[in-house]
Amino acid sequence: MTVDLEGRITYANHAAVNLLGWAAGDLQGLDLHETLCHSHLDGSPRDRNECPAHATLRHGAVHRGRDDVLWRRDGGAVPVELSCGPLAGAEGALGAVVSFRDVSVSGRATDYYGEVLRLTERDRAQREVVRQLQEAVSPRMPRVAGVDLGVFELAADPSEPSGGDLYDWVVLPDGDLHLVIVDVMGKGVAATKDALAIVHALRVLVFEGCPMENLVTRADQLLLAHDPNLVATLVVGRYTPATGRLRLAGGGHPPLFLVGADGAVREVAAPGIPIGWPDAGSFEIVDLIVERSETVLLYTDGLIEARRDIVAGLSDLRAAVGETAGYPARHLPRILVERALAGAQRSDDTLAMVLRRRAAPASAPHRMLGPFEHRFSPSMAAVPVARHLFADWMTGQGVEEGDHADLLIVASELCSNAVRMASGAPRGVVLRASAEGSALVLEVEDDGVGFQSALPMSEEIPALDQNDGRGLFIVQSMVDELDVRTASGGTVVRCVKRCLFAEPDLVSDPSHRARS
């Protein structure tokens, strides 16, 4: 319905007229308040000023009446939900629009529908809240010079968004990386709450300059004052990027692993008494140097208890970390968790975190060969050829085995892609490579346009039920940088991968090997 500035009905639609028992056109010109809004539901007279429409006419704003009432021509009351908004034309205010909906018994069905919508909406909103909270308990991966990081966590109960295993990593004002892994007794969101309290207490203590020796004890004192039932094992690390120095304070947590590029594995225990136990605190500060290309694995016991035999679990994990020394740090935690849980009944929260110190920058240029360039016509048959030529060049550069194999796949993916995208003109695809410092730069250019301007930069693993489309994901997992430039002349995909190179002397001078 619409009303003019005096509150007279200027228009009423079919539904309104029918509901209120009038005939079409009869309402026109009648006073809204006198005709339809004159009384409260109990029959007592209602003042004009109590009417939402009148409020809109006076103040211009939208007014609502959730439990309002309109009166039928036959004297019956119709409970309605009502909303009034100003109606304006070019010359200014014209009146108000009054819309309403019957909420009496006949309107219940719509009500239930509305309720279902509201519940669905509430469910969606709650899910969103849980997702946001989940993000809040999974701190963003910090950027630390010379280090690659990775983390993966899995709650014991798949229906729970998080469990009692929690991690923290943050760069401190002095540039050191603060690392925490905590495993709270208990499961589900209640345990997450306790784990968060510990993580935050540790952050505050570290920022305040609490010495590492006292961290676990101080955290215990702070937390037990509030919750005497809290029990948690933990390991706190402080990593100095410039030197690779890693100091650790532990509280009853399983040993961490230090893995060399060659797969040699060392167990490092940071002994202490868990938070919540009498005399909680670390016994000593473990002080070690993470060598170049070495990997540190921190984890919670879900990773070694999946088969209910901790000793076997530890030795399985030890074997697994040795075998996966050359895996990308970003994906390594997930892969270790998947290995540990393969065929096991999952019963505990599981968390794994990886820190890998990158290979050293090359001390001096030691390139036997110049940059690599191979131009070929866009045919799939030409890709193996390009790959083999590139493999020979990498061998000449002294690229070590694992990096060599990874880069061969990267080159194959990019070349196959370029063949698909190229215009078809002869020699339309170019594979280039050069060694720059401690990195290998790989470039594939094609003369096609479009498509690749927006690469999906997802870290998510591709859906398992899809057959292909893994190429880009694989490339991303194996290189350190990836970018795509599309110009009118074609597309260039450029990757950078930090590599291990064999010692130059050993490559160029075999006699040196005999001497050393």
Partner 1 sequence: MTGAPGSEPFAIDVARQGARVEVMLYGELDAYSAPRLREGMSELGEIAGRHVVVDLGGVGFVDSAGLAAIVSTLRAVKEADGAVSLRSMSPQLHKLFEITGLSRLFPAE
Q: How far is CA 459 from CA 24, 340, 451, in A?
A: 63, 22, 20
Asked if 56 and 3 count as a contact pair (C-beta separation under 8 A), the reply is no
Q: How far apart (Å, rounded) are the C-alpha atoms in residues 182 and 164? A: 8
Q: How far is CA 443 from CA 138, 282, 362, in A?
A: 35, 50, 21
Nearer to partner 1 among residue 193 and residue 307 (C-beta): 307
Closest approach of partner 1 to the CB of residue 226, in Å: 41
Q: How far apart (Å, rounded) are the C-alpha atoms in residues 220 and 182? A: 13
Strand order in the sheet with 481-487: 372-376, 429-436, 439-446, 490-498, 481-487
Nearer to partner 1 among residue 184 and residue 341 (C-beta): 341
Nearer to partner 1 among residue 278 and residue 426 (C-beta): 426
Closest approach of partner 1 to the CB of residue 405, in Å: 5
Nearer to partner 1 among residue 196 and residue 383 (C-beta): 383
Nearer to partner 1 among residue 168 and residue 403 (C-beta): 403
Q: How far apart (Å, rounded) are the C-alpha atoms in residues 183 and 306? A: 15
Nearer to partner 1 among residue 97 and residue 405 (C-beta): 405
Strand 295-299, strand 9-11: pairing:
unpaired
Exposure of 464 by Cβ count < 10 A (0-12 exposed, 13-18 middle, 19+ buried)? exposed
Closest approach of partner 1 to the CB of residue 295, in Å: 15
Nearer to partner 1 among residue 63 and residue 374 (C-beta): 374
Nearer to partner 1 among residue 212 and residue 337 (C-beta): 337
Give the angle 415-418-423 at the CA atoms, nearest 5°.
140
Closest approach of partner 1 to the CB of residue 353, in Å: 18
Q: How far apart (Å, rounded) are the C-alpha atoms in residues 218 and 237? A: 16
427 half-sphere exposure, CB direction, 13 A CA radius: 3
Q: How far apart (Å, rounded) are the C-alpha atoms in residues 153 and 510? A: 47
DSSP reduced 3-state for 227 = coil
Closest approach of partner 1 to the CB of residue 409, in Å: 5
Strand 265-268, strand 256-259: pairing:
antiparallel
Asked if 203 and 223 count as a contact pair (C-beta separation under 8 A), the reply is no
Q: How far apart (Å, rounded) are the C-alpha atoms in residues 310 and 200? A: 30
Nearer to partner 1 among residue 62 and residue 405 (C-beta): 405
Nearer to partner 1 among residue 133 and residue 389 (C-beta): 389
Nearer to partner 1 among residue 364 and residue 381 (C-beta): 381
Closest approach of partner 1 to the CB of residue 408, in Å: 7
- What one-character DSSP code corresponds to residue 502? -
Closest approach of partner 1 to the CB of residue 441, in Å: 20
Tokens of 433: 């490579």
Closest approach of partner 1 to the CB of residue 192, in Å: 25
Closest approach of partner 1 to the CB of residue 485, in Å: 22
Closest approach of partner 1 to the CB of residue 467, in Å: 5
Q: How far apart (Å, rounded) are the C-alpha atoms in residues 382 and 322? A: 37
Closest approach of partner 1 to the CB of residue 194, in Å: 31
Q: How far apart (Å, rounded) are the C-alpha atoms in residues 93 and 76? A: 33
DSSP reduced 3-state for 382 = helix
Closest approach of partner 1 to the CB of residue 426, in Å: 17
Based on its alpha-carbon atoms, the radius of gyration of the chain, rounded to whole angstroms, reads 35
Which residues would be at the binding site for partner 1 (CB under 8 A)? 323-324, 326-328, 331, 334-335, 338-339, 342, 380-385, 387-389, 405, 408-409, 412-413, 416, 419, 461-462, 464, 467-471, 473-474, 477
Nearer to partner 1 among residue 22 and residue 327 (C-beta): 327
Instruction: For the chain, report the end-to-end CA distance as a whole number of angstroms.
Output: 97
Asked if 478 and 328 count as a contact pair (C-beta separation under 8 A), the reply is yes
